[in-house]
Amino acid sequence: MSTHQTSTHSRTRSSRSRPARSPQGPSRRPSPNRLIILVALFVGIFGILSLRVIQLQVFQHAMYAKISASQVSQKITTTALRAGIYDRNGQILAVSRPTSLVIADDFQIQHPVRLAEAMSALVQVPVDKLVPLLSRKSGYVVLNNSLDLTAGRKLRSMFFPGIVVQDSSVRSYPNGQIALATLGGTNAAGAGSVGLEYAYQKLLAGQNGLTRELTSTSGVNLPSSRSTIIRAAKPGIGLELTLDTSLQFVAERVVAKQLKATGGITGQALVMDVKTGEILADVSLVNTKTNPGVLGPIPAWGKNVGVPGIQETINNLPFAQAYEPGSVFKLVTFSAALQQGLVTPTTLFTVPNSVTVGSRYFHDAENHAVEHLTTTQILAQSSNIGTYEIGLRVGTNGLLAQVERMGFGQRTSINFPGETSGLLVNASTWYASDQVSLPIGQVDAVPPIQVLDAYNTIANNGVFIQPKLVRAYVNSSGSVKAMPASATRVALSPTVAQTINQMLQQVVLAGTGTNAIIPGYSVAGKTGTATIPYPGKDKLLIGQYNASFVGFAPANNPVLSMIVIIERPQTTIFGGVAAAPIFQQVMSYALHHYGIPSNGAVQKPLTGKGASVASDVT
């Protein structure tokens, strides 16, 4: 072997026997300082997290728990069941029927078509209408707000996703349109909006309850969740009215037929118990087929009362509408003169056809030569000029005082929503011509209820009694709490009241009110055919009148009083023709309905000249 080869081999062995060197150089141990920093960093982070956990769990637990709960738990107001309204005999006039309210959170609904097909029969909504509702993606959709309770309970038990069933109610009026102008109605929220429903809202509504429910962010109950009652709802207190449904029905139908027959705008009527002031019938109708003209339309409920075009008004006109009463207001003049002893029924007056007072010309309705009439004849024939002469004896102060004494210009204790006190002249606004206008009922505007109150005072032997519409409260248990008797006051002496009673009987027997005669019963009353002022102008509506009749029966022992008004009749304008027949029919029914015996009295009409129905125009 050559020397060169030996060397080479030796170098090769030598290189294999040496340990391999790391390409990164020699290995080193971790620095103690670095370990300390890492440990400190981990401990710091853990400490911060621990402090945050302590802060959240201990110090801020209540706050965040409240926030968390509020995202899924809501306090829901539970509406109390609205109490019913009944007539004097316990017949239901208004009632709230418990129902189920079905709502959907359509964000939770994945298959609206499939769900609609499954629940359509239960929710009582057709599939083709249900699918769009379930697909709306609004988070809150009412599917049915008046589902019957049986179907509602079954639907609730099936736990459809996104579907919630809650308790609700629907207000209904079982007798349809009867007395709706008196009862009023409720709005979409179930609260009273007009009439007695509005006046007694707080009492009828009761006290709402409070329920805790688990809900989605849109406010709909979470599926399969349970409700917790925090405070139970308390039902409302019902009303027993003074109205008699049977008499109300008859009165409405008679007024409706006459309103249609005469082409009038509105028809109003009230029937009252003389001794108690209880209103037994309250009629307020409008003829939607007649053009109301410049006075504007009368809001109505939109459904006929059984006669085409005749509907219940929304406002109760016998309380809410003031009108110039005309000749029925002459009661003020005659009662004042008799009370002061200025006239007797037989006092004789010389009555010309016309007079001019101030700048105004006044005349009787029918032309005549100078007449000699007694006080009773002036009333029976409704002489404007004769009434003016009696008013002269009373004087301005005496007339104004008597207006107040008879209850005019004062709201009744019923305080019906929208009730007007009327518009009266006083000493500061007195014109010379008012010496004629006031005695014959032209210058004061009053609601019909005040006119009836005045005549009821005559029927009640001179005692004014406040009218009443609510007879008692009805608790949810069924117990009844009677209302106190109506307040009374003496307005006239019994002698004066009885004298006027006799004079008013002659109006019916031999005067303008012969169409109010009821066979077998004595009737006292007065007609009125009153002009209507043009709104906003110092003139009258040409050819437009309010026809009225007000009276009571049996006149010898009064039990019932009644007023009737037909506004702007077209076929006839006279109270003795348009209004008196309504009184005759309704009062005749009422007397028999309540079993009032015939008095059998033989009444003698006045001798001498009688009066036509046309003589009461003012």
Let me know whether 195 and 336 are in one domain. no
pTM score, two decimals? 0.82
Distance set, CA 135 to CA 112, 121, 162 (Å): 6, 18, 12
Co-location of 231 and 255 in the same domain:
no
Tell me, yes or no, whether 459 and 312 share the same domain.
yes
Work out the average pLDDT over 10-30.
48
pLDDT at 48: 84
Asked if pLDDT for residue 217 goes beyond 90, the answer is no
Residues contacting 323, CB < 8 A, separation 6+: 445, 446, 447, 448, 530, 532, 546, 565, 567
DSSP 32-54: HHHHHHHHHHHHHHHHHHHHHHH
Residue 403 lies in a domain: yes
Q: Do the domain assignments include residue 498?
A: yes
More confident call, 14 vs 379? 379
- Give the tokens for residue 281: 């019938």
**Of all helices (H) and strands (E), which one includes residue 454?**
helix 448-459
Q: Identify whether 293 is part of a domain.
A: yes
Highest mean pLDDT among 63-77, 137-151, 333-347: 333-347
Question: Which residue type, as a one-letter code, is found at position 525?
Answer: G
Is 516 or 150 the better-scoring residue by pLDDT?
A: 516
Q: In the chain, what is the greatest distance between 2 CA atoms, to the nearest angstrom?
A: 185
Q: What is the mean pLDDT of residues 202-212?
A: 87
Q: What is the pLDDT of residues 594-611, one digit of tens each?
A: 999 998 766 667 666 667
The average confidence (pLDDT) of the chain is 89
pLDDT on residue 211? 75
Q: Specify the DSSP element, H or E, that contains 566.
A: strand 560-567
Q: Tell me, yes or no, whether 454 and 472 share the same domain.
A: yes
Which range of residues forms the domain containing residue 365? 245-616
**Tokens read off for 218:** 């849109």
Separation of alpha carbons 560 and 551, rounded Å: 9
Closest CA to 80 of 207, 212, 219: 207
Give residue-wise pLDDT tens across range 539-549. 889 999 999 99
User: What percent of the chain has pLDDT above 90?
Assistant: 66
Of 563, 330, 321, give the one whose Cα is nearest residue 421: 321
For Cα atoms 196, 197, 199, give the angle at the middle one, nearest 5 degrees.
55
Q: In the chain, helix, strand, coil percent, each to 5?
A: 35, 25, 40
Whether the pLDDT of residue 310 is over 90: the answer is: yes
151: Cβ–Cβ under 8 A, 6 or more apart, which residues?
100, 122, 123, 124
Distance CA 563, CA 260 (A): 19
Residue 350 — φ and ψ, nearest 5°? -95, 115
| Structure tokens given for 523 | 């009737």
Q: 217 in a domain, yes or no?
A: yes
* The one-letter amino acid at 575: G
Confidence of residue 13 (pLDDT cuts 50, 70, 90): very low
Of residues 418 and 22, more confidence is placed in 418
- Does 210 lie in the same domain as 300? no
* Domain tally, the chain: 2
Do residues 481 and 473 touch, judged by C-beta distance below 8 A? yes
* More confident call, 99 vs 503: 503
pLDDT digit string (tens) for 243-297?
999 999 999 999 999 999 999 999 999 999 999 999 999 999 999 999 999 999 9
pLDDT of residue 76: 67
In a domain, 206, yes or no: yes
Last residue of a domain, one of 218, 239, 260: 239
DSSP result, 206-274: -B-EEEEEEB-TTSPBPTT---EEEE--B---EEEES--HHHHHHHHHHHHHHHHHHT-SEEEEEEEET
Identify the pLDDT of residue 134.
Answer: 87
Kindly report, residue by residue over 440-487, the tens digit of the pLDDT: 999 999 999 999 999 999 999 999 999 999 999 999 888 999 999 999
Q: What was the pLDDT predicted at 14?
A: 42
From 186, 213, 239, the end of a domain falls on: 239
d(CA 565, CA 545): 10
Give me the CATH number covering residue 545. Answer: 3.40.710.10
Strands of the sheet containing 228-231, edge to edge, are: 73-78, 209-214, 228-231
